[in-house]
Structure 1
Amino acid sequence: MGEFMKLFVISSRVPYPLQKGDKLRLYHQLKHLSEEHEVILCCLSSANVTAEQREALSHFVTELHVLKLSWFRRLWRMAWAWASDWPFQVTWFTEKRIQNQVQELVAKHAPQAIYCQLVRCAEYVKDIHEVPKVLDYMDALSAGMHRRANSEMRLLMKPFQLLLRTEGTRLARYESRVFDYFDAATIISRNDRLLIPHRDRDRIEIVPNGVDLSAFTPANPGTQNDPIVLFTGNMSYAPNVDAAHHLVKDILPQIKHPRVRVILAGAEPKASVKALASDRVTVTGWVDDIATQYRKATLFMAPLRIGTGLQNKVLEAMAAEVPCILSPHAFTPLNLPSTGHAVVCQNAEAFASAVDDLLASPEQSKEMAKRAKKSIEGQFSWDTHGTTVSRLFRHVTQNASI
């Protein structure tokens, strides 16, 4: 237990409910930080905060300020966004009126440190020089945008591809530029750190996501009917949408086992994801307890081709002892040995063969899942990573007082 501090945290979303990765990450970090410190949480939103959100966060924060962004001002800013060198998402989230409110809140509360989640919030606090600041990049967002642009091959989507490339280039410049305004920074994996285009990027602290081991427990042994291949995630997020289509359209038809079913479980499925539903494919939409889906699954697959960052869904599957078949994008950020924890596949044919092989060798599949669970138990604890963040705050405040 270190020195008690008052922390001011700013985020681009209210971190509840936990249907997006940034919300899940911040929620658990707040939970840990509140055990040692007083936390003032400031969130941007285009909607009013609900009673359920206030109740869920009241256990961790002494004050919750939800600053409502104007849709009209947002659209006006975006109309002129091409004339700026800011990333489009920074323009989307940055409003002068809200900047003044944030500065007033910081002056009122006089925190010992400021924690900014994601570069899209950086403009609100980067010029507050009298308070030590920590930036959570979370992922290398610029690299994710470039990967999405490079994967878009449809002729009609060329304007969107240009937009993604422009955003990727602007984000890369901004990720580099904003680094120097903060006293410290964090990121989700070593791979993502390597993608931050700054000469001092090695100073960025690696803070992976964690998994709630008490919630994601293995299923009780029992008789299962048809094998189920599970994929989870927010189904409006482009990398997940692409992976869902890849699984159903490219991989499933090549699986030889005749009774394999696919479940796509996650919030806000796009119309194109809903259209994948069939007698062999279930699209669940929002699930109150996503852990129940892992307990139904025979295998977990994450055929992600775009995006960056450490995938919560993979940690959850491994915690639940579900054998995993992963793309390099999904596996590499775990920083685990390349064999023995998951089957890593490069193309649809390899994914389909892996499903058939694991279904034909249940004992081998089970051993791999147990090995993966044991590895993540030691490396991906929310408490451990929360302690790292807390230590980082103590470090920047001590340096500021010298």
Structure 2
Amino acid sequence: MKVLFVAPWIPASFRPRSLVLLDMLAAEHDIRFLGLVHDEREARLAEQLPVQHRVLVPNTRVGSLLRSARAACTGVSLQTGYASPKALTDALRRELDEFQPDVVHLNVFRTVHLVEACGRTPVVVDLDEFRSEYYEQLASHGSNFAWRALGRVEAPRMRAREDKLLSMGVPLMLSAPTPPGQERPNTFLVRSPCDFSVQRQAGPIGRTVLFVGRLSYEANVSGLMWFVRECWDGIRKLVPDARLRIVGSDPPKAVQASVGNGIELYPNVPAVEPHYSDAAVAIAPIFRGTGVQLKLIQAMSAGVPSVTTSTVADRAGVVDGVHVRVADDRAGWITAVSELLSSPETAERLAVNGRGWVVEHHSSAAVRRQMRAAYASLSPEAQLDAGSDR
């Protein structure tokens, strides 16, 4: 099958869902890649993609910001404005004429303005999540006025476009199960693949608490800084040799300033996997957000016992005390993290259960079956081969 994979960025290790799904498709099908790049660094990154044919469209930061500003005045989502240079649509049409793909695979909300330009070619959108839900949360609970204002602008615009896609019958791939009673038509659960080769080391392990996440993402920074301010001193009183290791890209000044008192920062690392090998506990203190937090899935896959919020646990489908520990307030977080640092038996039980859950739901074999179900809703020519899982 011929697939044109379109993304508003270059899939990479710090965008693991995009990269792994592209790799999964490229292993079995004829794939062409069309994507946006900001600079030469991103263009070089594109050379590592698992495809032979790639078309890169420049998307300068100045131009993307100007389009976002224009979108603010037209009622279009700022996200799609940011990633909608005319050259991208022109390149898409050239690829449709030349390649004649069986399906166009659009990656995340920023590409949904291209649906109509695909014409009669079947389209599937890896929406990942209904992004409007996050901006609705931001509008009411953002960490400052600017974030709340952005949420109030973006949420209804995104919701309108998402509803339009549903009315058009475009298949939408979502990374998290839909809560009961909130099901929507033509949506398909396709979880983010996670097959970590790195496992937590056997035997005695230091009391390292690990946070992994993109530190340009407001919800990550807000949750992490809450944990540092409200919980870390309490954990250190109970476990004096505990250390917090923060691993993430583009840390803001607030995160940089938190270093000390047992807190270490590893910014912009080439790979996050090695940091799981000697972690005693992983944390995902995220109170806002939609979809499944991949940081939680990665930690569980690596066999690291994890603590997260009910918001994250409920969306993933994991159970408190079985797969993870769940906490939503200061006292609960201090207790959960401290107990896992001090009780190897409890930590090991959660680690084994958590890894088993990830294999069942997030392994490549499981996700390949999920993706085939989404493609099965398209025309026969655009359906993925239902061959053996590799």
Could you say whether these structures have the same fold, taking a TM-score greater than 0.5 normalized by the shorter chain as the test? yes
Partner of 2:4: 8
1:111 maps onto 2:101 in alignment: yes
Question: Which region of structure 1 is more displaced relative to structure 2, 119-128 or 341-350?
Answer: 119-128
Could you say if the C-alpha distance between residues 53 and 243 of structure 1 is closer, same or farther in structure 2, counting changes exceeding 3 Å?
same
Partner of 1:294: 276
Q: Which of 389, 393, 400 is residue 371 of structure 2 equivalent to?
A: 389
CA deviations over 1:171-207 (Å, ceiling 9, x no partner) = 1111111333454111111247977xxxx72420000
Quick one: distance in 2 between partners of 1:203 and 1:126?
A: 17
Could you say if the C-alpha distance between residues 235 and 73 of structure 1 is closer, same or farther in structure 2, counting changes exceeding 3 Å?
closer
Quick one: distance in 2 between partners of 1:70 and 1:269?
A: 22
Question: Where in structure 1 are there 5+ consecutive unaligned residues?
Answer: none
Contact 1:193 1:204 survives alignment (8 Å): no
Quick one: distance in 2 between partners of 1:282 and 1:194?
A: 43
Could you say if the C-alpha distance between residues 229 and 72 of structure 1 is closer, same or farther in structure 2, counting changes exceeding 3 Å?
closer
1:243 maps onto 2:233 in alignment: no
Where 1:201 maps in the other structure, the secondary structure is coil
Alpha-carbon offset, residue 96 of structure 1? 2.2
Partner of 2:45: 53
1:210 maps onto 2:193 in alignment: yes
Contact 1:135 1:182 survives alignment (8 Å): no
Mapping of residues 227-238 of structure 1, within 5 Å: 227-238=207-218
Quick one: distance in 2 between partners of 1:340 and 1:221?
A: 22
1:168 maps onto 2:160 in alignment: no
Where 2:202 maps in the other structure, the secondary structure is coil
RMSD: 2.3
CA deviations over 1:329-379 (Å, ceiling 9, x no partner) = 221222133441111001121100112222332212211211111121121
Letter in 2 for 1:39: I
Q: Number of matched residues?
A: 381
Could you say if the C-alpha distance between residues 6 and 182 of structure 1 is closer, same or farther in structure 2, counting changes exceeding 3 Å?
farther
Could you say if the C-alpha distance between residues 325 and 283 of structure 1 is closer, same or farther in structure 2, counting changes exceeding 3 Å?
same
Could you say if the C-alpha distance between residues 376 and 386 of structure 1 is closer, same or farther in structure 2, counting changes exceeding 3 Å?
same
1:42 maps onto 2:34 in alignment: yes
Mapping of residues 70-109 of structure 1, within 5 Å: 70-109=60-99
Where 1:131 maps in the other structure, the secondary structure is coil
Partner of 2:22: 30
Output the TM-score relative to the length of structure 2: 0.91
Alpha-carbon offset, residue 50 of structure 1? 5.3
Alpha-carbon offset, residue 382 of structure 1? 2.2
Quick one: distance in 1 between partners of 2:265 and 2:36?
A: 30
Contact 1:43 1:66 survives alignment (8 Å): yes
Mapping of residues 314-329 of structure 1, within 5 Å: 314-329=296-311
Could you say if the C-alpha distance between residues 287 and 241 of structure 1 is closer, same or farther in structure 2, counting changes exceeding 3 Å?
same
CA deviations over 1:203-236 (Å, ceiling 9, x no partner) = 20000112123x23121213x44x1111101111
Contact 1:38 1:62 survives alignment (8 Å): no
Partner of 1:348: 330
1:178 maps onto 2:161 in alignment: no
CA deviations over 1:105-149 (Å, ceiling 9, x no partner) = 211111011110112111123332210110111012111112223
Contact 1:261 1:280 survives alignment (8 Å): yes
Letter in 1 for 2:210: L
Letter in 1 for 2:7: S
Quick one: distance in 2 between partners of 1:54 and 1:311?
A: 25
Alpha-carbon offset, residue 152 of structure 1? 2.7
Where 1:127 maps in the other structure, the secondary structure is helix
Quick one: distance in 2 between partners of 1:12 and 1:194?
A: 32
Alpha-carbon offset, residue 79 of structure 1? 3.2
Contact 2:7 2:35 survives alignment (8 Å): yes
Partner of 2:130: 140
Contact 1:267 1:287 survives alignment (8 Å): yes
Where 2:33 maps in the other structure, the secondary structure is strand
Output the TM-score relative to the length of structure 1: 0.88
Contact 1:318 1:324 survives alignment (8 Å): yes
Quick one: distance in 2 between partners of 1:380 and 1:390?
A: 14
Question: Where in structure 2 are there 5+ consecutive unaligned residues?
Answer: 384-390
Partner of 1:121: 111
Question: Which region of structure 1 is more displaced relative to structure 2, 262-271 or 353-362?
Answer: 353-362
Alpha-carbon offset, residue 65 of structure 1? 0.9
